[in-house]
Structure 1
Amino acid sequence: MNKKNLLVVSLFFVLFLILSFNLNQKKNTNSNNLNNKYEEYVVDSGDMIKEKDLSVSILDLNITAEEKAGLILMREEEKLARDVYRHLGEKWGMNIFFNIADSEQTHTNAIKVLLERYGVEDPVKDDISGKFTSLEMSKLYEELIQKGEKSIVDAIMVGAIIEDLDIKDLEVLLGQTTKEDIVLTYKNLQKGSRNHLRAYSKNLDRQGITYAPQYISEEIYKQIISSEQERGTVK
Structure 2
Amino acid sequence: MKNAFLIVATLIALSSCESGNPVGNEQANLSQSLANIKTAVNNLPAETLDSVEKERILFIREEEKLAYDVYQTMYDKYGSKIFQNIPNSELSHMEAMLIIIKKYQLVDPMDTNPRGKFEDQNLQLLYTSLVSQGNVSLLSAYQVGAKIEELDIFDLNKSIAITNNQDVRLVYDFLNKGSRNHLRSFYKNLKNVGGSYSPIFITQAEFDAIVNSPTEKM
Query: Which residue of structure 2 lines up, in the alignment, with residue 82 of structure 1?
Result: 68
Q: Counterpart of 1:116 in structure 2: which amino acid?
A: K
Q: What residue in structure 2 maps to residue 55 of structure 1? A: 39
1:228 aligns with 2:214: yes
Deviation at 1:209, TM superposition (A): 2.0
Alignment-derived partner of residue 115 in structure 1:
101
Provide the TM-score with structure 1 as the length reference. Answer: 0.77
Residue aligning to 1:99: 85
User: 2:123 is aligned with what amino acid?
Assistant: M
User: After the TM superposition, which segments of 4 or more aligned residues of structure 1 sit over 6 Å from their partners?
Assistant: none
Shift of 1:58: 2.9
Partner in structure 2 of residue 189 of structure 1: 175
Aligned equivalent of 1:204, options 190, 195, 199: 190
What does the per-residue CA deviation read over 1:27-52, in whole Å, with 9 as the maximum and x for residues that have no partner?
A: xxxxxxxxxxxxxx958454555143
Asked if 1:155 is matched to 2:135, the reply is no
Match of 2:57 among 71, 74, 77: 71
Task: Give the unaligned 5+ runs of structure 1.
Answer: 1-40
Deviations 1:122-159 (A, max 9, x none): 11131410011011111000000011111000001000
Match of 2:75, SS state, is helix
Give the count of matched residue pairs. 192
Q: Counterpart in 2 of 1:177?
A: 163
Q: TM-score, normalised by structure 2?
A: 0.83
**1:79 is matched by which residue type in structure 2?**
K
Per-residue Cα deviation, 1:178-216 (whole angstroms, up to 9, x for no partner) = 111111110110000000000000111122222100101
- Give yes or no for contact 2:46–2:104 (8 Å, CA) kept in 1: no
Alignment equivalent of 1:140, drawn from 126, 147, 150: 126
Q: Gaps (5+ residues) in structure 2?
A: 1-21
Indicate the RMSD between aligned Cα atoms, in angstroms.
Answer: 1.7
Paired residue type of 2:140: D
1:30-81 superposed Cα distances (whole Å, 9 cap, x missing partner): xxxxxxxxxxx95845455514334332333431112101101111000000
State the SS of the aligned residue for 2:53.
helix
The whole-number CA distance in structure 1 between the counterparts of 2:174 and 2:165 is 14
Instruction: Tell me which structure has the larger Cα radius of gyration.
Output: 1
Deviation readout 1:69-111 (Å, 9 max, x if unpaired): 1101111000000000001001101111010011101101110
| SS in structure 2 of the partner of residue 169 of structure 1 | helix
Q: Which residue identity is paired with 1:120?
A: L
In structure 2, the CA distance between the partners of 1:68 and 1:82, relative to structure 1 (3 Å rule), is same
How much identity, in percent, do the aligned residues show?
Answer: 35
- Counterpart of 1:189, as a letter, is L
- The match for 2:154 is 168
Is contact 2:62–2:109 with CA below 8 Å preserved after alignment?
Answer: yes
